Amino acid sequence: MNLVLIGYRGTGKTAIGRRLAERLGMEYVGLDEEIVRRAGKSIPDLVEESGWDRFRDIEAEAVRDAAAADNRILDTGGGAILRDENVAALRRNGLVIWLRASVPDIVARIGADDQRPSLTGRRSFTDEVDEVLAERKPRYNAAAHERIDTSALTVEEAVQAIAGIFENARKQSKDA
């Protein structure tokens, strides 16, 4: 069984995912890193040169391949849930945890990151986060088995909560 972290960028997927992998003795797979490896260029360069559709195609291939293995922590990009095929692949052999955070917390965490291209290209950063997050919330919710709000938790507190949820799910799947 895989442990899949979904959520908007800046909700803690990478920091929490890396610590979960250490704690649970599982392989960590950062899907954004895998997309960069496959494309041979940064995400901003890929999007600028080839567009969002090409990015999403590479993402879907990376999701499919990563989800096919077992005993992994999968740190998805914030938009991985936009394609139903990705959600199906991630849920097939994974417990999907939606990491949530407030818009101000997200903006504070990622405001200076230049490796994250604009998703709308037309609004202030805070407005963009608010708009895109509102559009994606129903998809995150539908994809998730569990939800964790990272706004009020430290990385270690989130890791502890998620590890407990995952260990219970793994035990239940073995008992079934």
Q: What is the pLDDT of residue 175?
A: 81
Burial (CB < 10 A; 0-12, 13-18, 19+), residue 133, is buried
User: What one-letter code names the amino acid at 77?
Assistant: G
What is the average pLDDT across 119-131? 73
Q: Are 96 and 143 in contact (CB under 8 A)?
A: yes
Q: pLDDT tens-digit profile of 131-171?
A: 999 999 999 999 999 999 999 999 999 999 999 999 999 99
Q: pLDDT tens-digit profile of 36-92?
A: 999 999 999 999 999 999 999 999 999 999 999 999 999 999 999 999 999 999 999
Q: Are 113 and 68 in contact (CB under 8 A)?
A: no
Q: Considering its fold, how many domains does the chain have in total?
A: 1
Q: Which position has the token pair 């990622």?
A: 110
Domain CATH number, residue 140: 3.40.50.300
Q: What is the pLDDT of residue 124?
A: 74
Q: Which position has the token pair 């391949």?
A: 65
User: What one-letter code names the amino acid at 176?
Assistant: A
Q: What is the DSSP letter of 40?
A: T
Query: Residue 86 contacts by C-beta under 8 Å, 6 or more apart in sequence?
Result: 59, 60, 63, 64, 76, 80
Measured CA to CA, the distance from residue 83 to residue 59 in angstroms comes to 10
Q: Are 13 and 90 in contact (CB under 8 A)?
A: no
Residue 150 CA, chain-centre distance (Å), reads 13
Q: Which domain holds residue 153?
A: 2-175
pTM: 0.91
